[in-house]
Chains A and B, each alone.
Chain A
């Protein structure tokens, strides 16, 4: 009967395992509350750890932070929400919150905000308004980010450019302006011939003038959004919560066609190489000399030991210089058992006290303008000059919002495939973008 016993033991073991791991969580009593809080950026983890430590000291409410990388993070949140095991407070993105809010997954905090008299004007760039949908509020801004140019100082000097030259670049989709000339000039083939000189061998390039960062979905936030926006292009008929994308806009077609021409000319790292390498190594190995990037990676560039990098404002386009300004916010999940404590945490993250702690790490720009300036001082004291990001954020008419709609994941997946194909020179923007626009708008309707 050994057999039967084994089988019985086994099934018992399986059941036990199942039960013991299945029923965890819940059951705290009184003021011994532990909140769970999630974020994705490992660079920001220390900043928010010190923030939540201060919060625990102040309120006695414990906070457990979980961090996972961007892709994994959203998959985790999705699965957790679906199974009702989501963290109490999540770091949220404007791209994803409308869908979650629409499905009743997030807590409306507007009554808390009102009761506690939070001053929404203290946050930079009017970002607080982005977190309101149908009259309900789903977050308080914690930080903001803008996009600027990053360039390799040695490569720039070798090409004969000064910091001043970079500060005054212009761009347009017809001839590329001085920016177009710069990325051609900074491209060097294996024989040392520059991209704007006769005999440039585009199939054997040593250093490309422009670096390709793959991804970016429909927005291309750090990749190409600034060029399209500087022509007057707008993603949506209305932002936030437009109902139609305008990707068939001739200005976007012209912009992406210009970029495609640069790729064909050998001035941009080819997609198939870039896709396997990633942005940072491309720049650190001097495969690419220049790129546009978001302020969330300031420290990566400034503290790189491989190369010396510097920041410059975005080129000025036909309609001026435009950057996307965007920010993150903590949202409370609707399934939380401790809404009041969770609000206290959200409120604390949105307060000067926490944002000053974040500022002291210098990794991001906190949402409150005074804290953002403080973070800039912290960086300056470390010898990092990232003033351009702040200047752009505060420039009148120089910022645009991230396109905010429902069904963002689906829209991005659709768009990413087409952007890939454009970068691979498989399709032209003129033929691909109108078709993409139709598909995306069908998704928004459905």
Chain B
């Protein structure tokens, strides 16, 4: 039993450090949630208690646009509301389309680069890969000019366009995996008369479900986090993403006190879906993220 951890001073210290790290990771979210239940008028008087002294759900009502303007002003807000479900829908649509397209197109490209043979293949791959070095802010200026001349400002087409077709990192990532899996099954299927597309969809992709999931998670987190481009080309309510709306809500009243309670309610609503996701799929996410660095 020499693998059994011994209880020593150093183990104890390690545990304390871990608990401390966990605490600083999770505590801000707890505090956010707590403050979301405090009325703005009580933010100062009730700034330390772990549980709100007079809990209220008015902030959530405010943020969701379920309260009247008088009610929100009375709660100490600035009357600004957030059309939460509209923006949430926009963000979900954006994320879903980005992930679906990126995974699909990257899988096709990665498969091509790892299995098909044609002149200039490796050179082309290197060229694609070098695209990773172009800073997004660099492409953003010409892309804005392009999207503008296409008349795609304030449309999903404009917000989505630069993300959909090619993601060098994703191609690189999947190609690495495809190269690592054995070709024998593929060769056998080929002899049985299966076409390229069938081999890809019936054999290669199912074998790659692990890395595909990993990639989907990483890209989803990335898309959910996007801010700079969407806030430039998607300012209209019909296409505004949640991030953009929440940031605008935060900046809406520079000379009065930030609407902390409202902001924390908005932030909570943004965090809760992720929390649920993590509770249900945490194990899956954690184990599949391990992939991204190693394989």
Interface residues of A (CB under 8 A from B): 2-4, 6-7, 10-11, 13-15, 17-19, 21-23, 42, 68-72, 75-76, 79, 82-83, 85, 213, 215, 277-281, 285, 300
**A18-B157, A285-B44 given as contacts; is B254 within 8 A of A215 (CB)?**
yes
B97 touches A14 (CB 8 A): yes
Shortest CB distance B149–A (Å): 10
A22-B151 contact, Cβ under 8 Å, with A14-B164, A72-B248: yes
Number of interface residues of B (CB under 8 A): 36
Q: Considering only CB atoms, which chain B residue lies closest to A17 in the complex?
A: B156
Chain B window 245-273, contacts with chain A (Cβ cutoff 8 Å), 1 for yes, 0 for no: 00010011111111000000000000000
Task: List 22 A–B pairs whose Cβ atoms lie within 8 Å, in order of A's numbering.
Answer: A3-B197, A4-B197, A6-B100, A7-B104, A13-B97, A17-B155, A17-B156, A17-B157, A18-B156, A18-B160, A42-B79, A42-B80, A68-B248, A69-B254, A70-B254, A72-B248, A79-B232, A83-B148, A85-B153, A278-B256, A280-B256, A281-B257
* Nearest CB of chain B from residue A6's CB, rounded to whole Å: 8
Whether A3 lies near B248 (C-beta < 8 A) is no
Q: Is the interface of B mostly helix, strand, loop or mixed?
A: loop
* A14 neighbours in B (Cβ, 8 Å): 97, 101, 156-157, 160, 164
Instruction: List the 6 closest A-B pairs by CB distance, nearest first.
Output: A18-B157, A281-B257, A21-B155, A22-B155, A83-B153, A17-B156
B contacts, CB < 8 Å to A? 44, 78-80, 93, 97, 100-101, 104, 148, 151-158, 160, 164, 197, 201, 205, 232, 235, 238-239, 248, 251-258
Asked if B258 and A278 sit within 8 Å, CB to CB, the answer is yes
B148/A82 in contact, CB under 8 A: yes
* Docked pose: A19 CA to B158 CA in angstroms: 10
Select which of A6, A42, A213, A280 is within 8 A of B257 by beta carbon. Answer: A280
Task: Report the minimal beta-carbon distance from A323 to chain B, rounded to whole angstroms.
Answer: 19
Residues from chain A with a CB closer than 8 A to the CB of B253 are 69, 278
B235 touches A76 (CB 8 A): yes
Bound-complex Cα distance A419 to B239 (A): 37
Give bound CA distance, A69 to B235, whole Å: 13
Contacts of A83 in B (CB 8 A): 148, 151, 153-154
Would you call B97 and A10 a contact (CB within 8 A)? yes
Q: Which residue of B lies closest to A213 (CB)?
A: B255
Neighbour of B156 across the interface among A21, A23, A281, A300, CB < 8 A: A21
Q: How close is A271's CB to chain B, nearest CB, in angstroms?
A: 14
